[in-house]
Structure 1
Amino acid sequence: MRHPGNPAFPVVITSYEIILRDFADLRRIPWKFLIVDEGHRLKNLNCQLIQRLKSLNSANRLLLSGTPLQNNLKELWSLLNFLLPDIFDDLESFQSWFDFDVTGDEGSQQILKREEEAQVVTKLHLILRPFLLRRLKADVDLSIPPKHEYILYCELTQQQRDVYVAVLERELVTAKGSLRLQNVLMQLRNVCNHPYLFDWPTDEQGEEQIDERIVSSSAKMVLLDRIMTRLRAEGGHQTLIFSQMTTQLDILQDYCTLRGFSFERLDGSVTNVERLEAMERFNKGGVDVFLLSTRAGGLGINLVAADTCIIYDSDWNPHADLQAQDRCHRIGQKEVVLIFRLTTTDTVEEQVLKAAKDKLKLEQLVISRGKYKMVGEKTDRDEKLKKRELINLLAYDPSKSALGRGADKTITDDELAIVLERRAERATDKGHGFAPVEAVVSKFDQTAKETGDASGVDGAADAVAATAAQA
């Protein structure tokens, strides 16, 4: 850094934290290329990181991201504004043109109407195409085995039902007294995970008890125990278990101890050195389980030794769960990967699934459909999105929501045996207590796969690169 332009050091690799700390020195150097990995971190147009990066003297900018569109089009505009601030300079105008509401049939009908009248979806694709290059794992490594994702359903235990009703009525009383429930939605999600998050049984000395009740009191824990018991019987499997909450990881850690599973753990409190050491121990084999918080363990980690991934509780942002899955389903994986998403029926978790469905539908509409195979590709102003294609895109439903399931839909032992099979093709039919998550996310994509059209892609993008040369 003391000798900018020195050919002996043509590349500088650094972190976001160093950018913020040493910005005064970095801004004095004329950079030929500025490449930002995990580019979706710039989705907040007001964050300090994006302001610092914008101020660097760079001739060209490149963003790398597996999830460039996560929640809304405002985040996508933030990335485009970083790349081409002179072109994408008016967020209000951008939103007025491309304000897509993909929720429900009414939103879909509105998009269809706007496409027929003004080709708004087609125009957005034409705008993005010169600046966006999309690559899937299948485009660069055909040897990666498939992954099969399933939503597994279970019914709340009676203890959970009692706590769930008490939370709804704001009348929850524990051994420590009445609880003030500030965020009812979050508390309901806690109930779905485990009642011990509210009240852990203790012995006469006040010590927390760890026994079979840690399993039997939670429907998800019962289901998890059934999965882990079968995997242990088969032998040779390593498993990743993701949760949003470190308190739930505490319970899972006690479960592993109770059942004699060897484990590693990674959450926000783990240092970088400890993280690397834990990854190395796990990938060497001999460790049964890796417990991870979804946010801390969803990025920058390679755990290809695992062939099973369990999402204990889903994130409101579905792309966080997709990033978590890709810790094991990535280049270097040799086995078929099974992804299990645990969900309680007739609870608030159905609302989480629905929110995830709408966000993934938006990504499918804007990113997956566009023909982003050649960077800088010229746009064809006469090209229009066919109405049938748009209808298929809007019909995309990856969550297979449990809404309205009614009767007990806990997965049976026979169904569990089906989803645990590591076959080349996933089970396609819905079961009594499970639903496969579509790998081919729309009829358009299915047609593209059958005809070999490279513009049709599946819903789990591995990498998207957006690039533009600035004057």
Structure 2
Amino acid sequence: MIELYDFQKGSVGDHKAVALYWDMGLGKTYGGLDRAKQFGDPHILIVCQKSKVQDWIDAVMDFFGEEAMNLRIQKDFDKYKTGLYHCAVINYDLLWRRREELYKLRDYTLVLDESSLIKNPRAQRTKATLRLKFDHLVLLSGTPCSGKYEELITQCHLLGWKIDPETYIDFYCNYINIYIPGKWNPVRKFVGYKNVKHLKKRLTEHGADFKLSSEYLNLPTQNYYWKKVDAPRDYKTFERTLVLEKEDGEILTGDTPLVKLLRLRQLCNGATKREALEDMIESTGDRIVIFYNFDEEKDIIKEVCKGRPLSYINGKEGVDLENYNKYTDSITLCQYQAGSYGHNLQLANKMIFFSPPLSSEQYEQAQKRIHRIGQKLPCFYWKMCTRGTIEEKIYQTLKMRQDYTMKLFTEDYLKK
């Protein structure tokens, strides 16, 4: 059984819903199970990302000493519907597909891991979540600790604070309206926040708890370095003409903004970046965690890492950390979407960003995979960046804790 740290303990009071907005690394998983236990409902339903299902099953065993049903497996789903089992875990996408069966469940506490994933009220996962007939609710997210307050409106409503969305945006967010040719309505670009103390006070009144790791943990220092390389000739050619014929005869075009963005990001991964990565890997025999975006990048990294034991966290292969746990010179390849959230990789203290993500949340979360409870060594991060390319613009935007996609459409692309 798990013994909580003092800072992880707390009471749900008379709230029907609570939120643990704790910085990454503070143990939201066990804090969330503790709050769910306090509500005292016969059942607990945990919703998380696909890559985190097994982690939650393990956490339930650690905390309650019992097995949780994996609702990704049909026989477990059938068992849970009998009402004889206490805890069950399901991922967000499967929740949508099995929503009609889940709507029939009663007498349970709902735990939403990474609750920032239900920020869009029009998304299928959000609609399905809001229709569930839970008695109590636990929201878990580290995102509000680093801003992104414009994404909290749905969670405010789940906590019982029925504030009007436009009133919320006007009172707590600074933004500018950007008019795009061909679009009738302007696009909002959020540039900061205001009345943050008042916002946190109101959320706290409705069951939210904010915690920063710097206030509760004496974690080692984080050290950041750039590894910049020259852009390949193909990048410059495509940027100028939006057409490129590759050596194998494939024709690349950038006929839409999204395709142009994709091609430019992929073309940053030339020979100079591969050589730089190889030099970095050869310079240490310690564990390394490498984050990447595309399957093509994974293939490049695998080729460079030949001879070293590899582990993986990605959407296709799932989670395989056997070599990470077994070998001190292992290299763990993490795809941002699958590996940024919740995984404990603090056996390593070195991380390489082979390419930057478009999501500032994924970027922030990825850094915490090695900088968390149990880390005893200083953490070192290398940001690989191709000079004079889209990667520099992405990193600049991430530094402001903003996603890049909107900036691309509203500024960079429209200038050309």
- Taking structure 1 as the reference length, the TM-score comes to 0.57
> Which of these two proteins has the greater Rg computed from alpha carbons?
1
One-letter code aligned to 1:349: E
Q: Secondary structure at the match of 1:226?
A: helix
Does structure 2 retain, via aligned residues, the 8 Å contact 1:263–1:287?
A: no
CA distance in 2: counterparts of 1:243 and 1:302, whole angstroms: 18
Does structure 2 retain, via aligned residues, the 8 Å contact 1:285–1:305?
A: no
Q: 2:303 aligns with which of 249, 254, 258?
A: 254
Aligned residue number for residue 267 of structure 1: 314
Relative contact order, CA 8 A, sep 6+: which one is greater?
A: 1
Count of aligned positions: 308
CA distance in 1: counterparts of 2:200 and 2:91, whole angstroms: 32
CA distance in 2: counterparts of 1:34 and 1:177, whole angstroms: 49
Counterpart check, 1:296 vs 2:338: yes
CA distance in 1: counterparts of 2:302 and 2:192, whole angstroms: 47
Q: Secondary structure at the match of 2:316?
A: coil
Q: Secondary structure at the match of 2:321?
A: helix
Where structure 2 has 5 or more consecutive residues not aligned to the other structure, the ranges are 1-79, 178-187, 404-416
Deviations 1:232-282 (A, max 9, x none): 3xxxx100111111111111111112xx333233322114xxx2xx21331
Counterpart check, 1:95 vs 2:137: no
Write out aligned runs for 1:7-46 (5 A).
Answer: 9-16=85-92, 19-20=95-96, 22-31=98-107, 33-46=109-122
Deviation at 1:140, TM superposition (A): 4.9
Aligned Cα RMSD in Å? Answer: 3.3
One-letter code aligned to 2:301: L
Aligned residue number for residue 49 of structure 1: 125
Aligned residue number for residue 284 of structure 2: 231
Write out aligned runs for 1:190-209 (5 A).
Answer: 190-194=266-270
Q: 2:245 aligns with which of 148, 154, 173?
A: 173
Does structure 2 retain, via aligned residues, the 8 Å contact 1:281–1:287?
A: no
CA distance in 1: counterparts of 2:290 and 2:137, whole angstroms: 36
Aligned residue number for residue 260 of structure 2: 184
Cα distance change on mapping 1:335 and 1:358 into 2, 3 Å: closer
Q: Secondary structure at the match of 1:44?
A: coil
Cα distance change on mapping 1:185 and 1:54 into 2, 3 Å: closer
Does structure 1 retain, via aligned residues, the 8 Å contact 2:309–2:329?
A: yes
Deviation at 1:73, TM superposition (A): 4.4
Cα distance change on mapping 1:245 and 1:333 into 2, 3 Å: same
Cα distance change on mapping 1:174 and 1:24 into 2, 3 Å: closer
Aligned residue number for residue 66 of structure 2: none
One-letter code aligned to 2:224: E
Counterpart check, 1:243 vs 2:292: yes
Does structure 2 retain, via aligned residues, the 8 Å contact 1:102–1:358?
A: no
Aligned residue number for residue 314 of structure 1: 356
Does structure 2 retain, via aligned residues, the 8 Å contact 1:168–1:184?
A: no
Counterpart check, 1:148 vs 2:223: yes
Cα distance change on mapping 1:320 and 1:148 into 2, 3 Å: same
Counterpart check, 1:128 vs 2:203: yes
Q: Secondary structure at the match of 1:58?
A: coil
Aligned residue number for residue 344 of structure 1: 386
Deviations 1:114-155 (A, max 9, x none): x6xxxx45543443342431223345543x4333233x1424
One-letter code aligned to 1:192: C
Q: Secondary structure at the match of 2:152?
A: helix
Aligned residue number for residue 81 of structure 1: 157
Cα distance change on mapping 1:111 and 1:47 into 2, 3 Å: closer
Higher strand share: 2
Deviation at 1:319, TM superposition (A): 1.7
Aligned residue number for residue 436 of structure 1: none
Q: Percent of pairs identical after alignment?
A: 23
Does structure 2 retain, via aligned residues, the 8 Å contact 1:62–1:83?
A: no
Cα distance change on mapping 1:46 and 1:71 into 2, 3 Å: farther
Deviation at 1:341, TM superposition (A): 1.2
Deviations 1:168-214 (A, max 9, x none): 223423220643233223322222222xxxxxxxxxxxxxxxxxxxx
Cα distance change on mapping 1:356 and 1:102 into 2, 3 Å: farther
Q: 1:335 aligns with which of 377, 381, 384?
A: 377
One-letter code aligned to 1:95: I
Cα distance change on mapping 1:80 and 1:325 into 2, 3 Å: same
Where structure 1 has 5 or more consecutive residues not aligned to the other structure, the ranges are 195-216, 362-471
